[in-house]
Amino acid sequence: MKRVLVLLLVASTAQANVWQKAVDRGSPDPAQDVYDSEMKTGDELAMQANAKGNSLKNTRQLVDHAVMSYRNAANAKPKDGEPYFRIGRVLYSFYFECEDNVSLANLSPLCLNNTSFDRKRAQDIVDAWDAFEARAPLDPRLSVHLGDTDILFKRAILNTKLVGKEHLEAAARDYEKILARSDTGIDSADETVWSNLAETYMMLGRLEEAIDTYREAIRRGASTSTMYGLAVALDRDERTAAARDVIVSQGKPALDLFHVSVMQGRTFFVPRGEEYYYFALAHESFDENEEAIEYWTQYIKSGAHPEFQPRAKAHLAALATKRHGGIPKARWQELLP
């Protein structure tokens, strides 16, 4: 504990004096001296934050101070992109790496403390990586298949979870960049990117593009969630018969596995409530109308994607009519368009 606090005090003092020291030494490039010192301090603080045995509070403080040092470096050399890359990377590794199948032994305590999506830090990461790309558009870390240093896919996922139209458009651009920069070989990663892009197009209301992109994902080896995504896009494009055919072709066991995948968080949807549309359409396709009515009702109540609410209400009305009044009129009539 004392060691960490001393380190923070030393780092703080260094940040306050580094400019003056550079000037006093008569350095030919004081800005470079400041840059080098702050980058080094940021790296050291990030390493300290990663040490085992740190408390939650100390880890958070060390990460915040590392980010501050990188920002000081960015201020010293405003045209350099590296500080911004590291800002995004350190925040991502400590707050979001927990969602990337990292082993429990390597999880940051800040990950373990997260019970909901941290919108502020997600936006900080997106902003930092946007600044990095603006300054270093040809950096190989903006390419693909580079593991930990590949930021396009990570940024796309964060933007998707931030949900706003401008974020979804940014996510679509990142997926498009990944596909444009990828090898032509067919592999599971390609299918994931194509499927995510298709879903992003659908969330933006670009249904024709979504359907075409889902079909490309399927050509590359689709999962059940991708097939269901195509079905939902077809249904929202008022091609319900085709949507039902897609779902039924996967078989009932696929629906059961899809439920499990969503419940375990391996398949996620944004905004909250979007998953109910998938469940409702699937159960309706298998003529499980009671389940479908329940899920259509939950989707409508969630308010997810207002532009697709009338379509859900039409499904619910048709099922209610099919039941010959078995569902109380007051329960569903108010949900109709």
Provide the pLDDT for residue 54: 86
Q: What is the CA radius of gyration of the chain?
A: 25
pTM exceeding the 0.75 threshold for the entire prediction: yes
What is the distance between the alpha carbons of residues 176 and 186, in angstroms, rounded to a whole number?
A: 16
DSSP class of 334: T
Burial class (CB in 10 A: 0-12, 13-18, 19+), 183: exposed
Both 184 and 271 in one domain: the answer is: no
Provide the pLDDT for residue 311: 97
Summarize the confidence of residues 257-263 as an average pLDDT.
Answer: 94
209 falls within a domain: yes
Q: Which two tokens stand for residue 154?
A: 């990570």
Which domain covers residue 43, as residue numbers?
1-10+28-96
Q: Which of 5-19, 30-44, 317-331 has the lowest mean pLDDT?
A: 5-19
Backbone angles phi and psi of 305, in degrees to 5:
45, 80
Is the pLDDT higher at 56 or at 79? Answer: 79
Is the pLDDT higher at 111 or at 215? Answer: 215
Q: Which of 31-40, 177-186, 281-290, 308-317 has the lowest mean pLDDT?
A: 177-186
Give yes or no for residue 15 having a pLDDT over 80: no
Model confidence at 322, pLDDT cuts 50, 70, 90, reads confident
For residue 161, the number of C-alpha atoms closer than 13 Å in the C-beta half-sphere is 19
116 falls within a domain: no
Q: Residues 162, 119: contact at Cβ < 8 Å?
A: yes
Both 310 and 268 in one domain: the answer is: yes
Q: Which of 24-28, 72-76, 129-133, 240-244 has the lowest mean pLDDT?
A: 24-28
Give yes or no for residue 144 having a pLDDT over 50: yes
Both 261 and 202 in one domain: the answer is: no
Q: Which two tokens stand for residue 163?
A: 């949900």
Burial class (CB in 10 A: 0-12, 13-18, 19+), 168: buried
117 falls within a domain: no
165 falls within a domain: yes
What is the distance between the alpha carbons of residues 222 and 216, in angstroms, rounded to a whole number?
A: 9
Summarize the confidence of residues 39-67 as an average pLDDT.
Answer: 94
Other CB atoms within 10 Å distance of the CB of residue 69: 27
141 falls within a domain: no
Model confidence at 183, pLDDT cuts 50, 70, 90, reads low
Q: Which of 16-30, 195-209, 287-301 has the lowest mean pLDDT?
A: 16-30
Q: Residues 62, 45: contact at Cβ < 8 Å?
A: yes
70 falls within a domain: yes
Q: Residues 307, 205: contact at Cβ < 8 Å?
A: yes
Q: Which of 38-47, 186-195, 303-312 has the lowest mean pLDDT?
A: 186-195
Both 209 and 273 in one domain: the answer is: no
Give the residue among 302, 307, 305, 312 at the shortest CA–CA distance from 280.
312
Give yes or no for residue 318 having a pLDDT over 50: yes
SS3 for 327? coil
Q: Which two tokens stand for residue 271?
A: 């905004």
- Distances in Å between the Cα of 88 and the Cα atoms of 32, 94, 323 are 22, 10, 54
Both 255 and 206 in one domain: the answer is: no
Share of the chain above pLDDT 90, in %: 66
SS3 for 272? coil
Summarize the confidence of residues 60-77 as an average pLDDT.
Answer: 97
How many domains does the chain divide into?
3
Q: Which of 43-57, 245-259, 311-325 has the lowest mean pLDDT?
A: 311-325
What is the distance between the alpha carbons of residues 276 and 14, in angstroms, rounded to a whole number?
A: 54
What is the distance between the alpha carbons of residues 114 and 184, in angstroms, rounded to a whole number?
A: 38
Q: Residues 49, 70: contact at Cβ < 8 Å?
A: no
Provide the pLDDT for residue 124: 98
Is the pLDDT higher at 110 or at 276? Answer: 276
Give yes or no for residue 191 having a pLDDT over 90: no
For residue 334, the number of C-alpha atoms closer than 13 Å in the C-beta half-sphere is 5
Chain length of the chain = 337
Both 3 and 50 in one domain: the answer is: yes
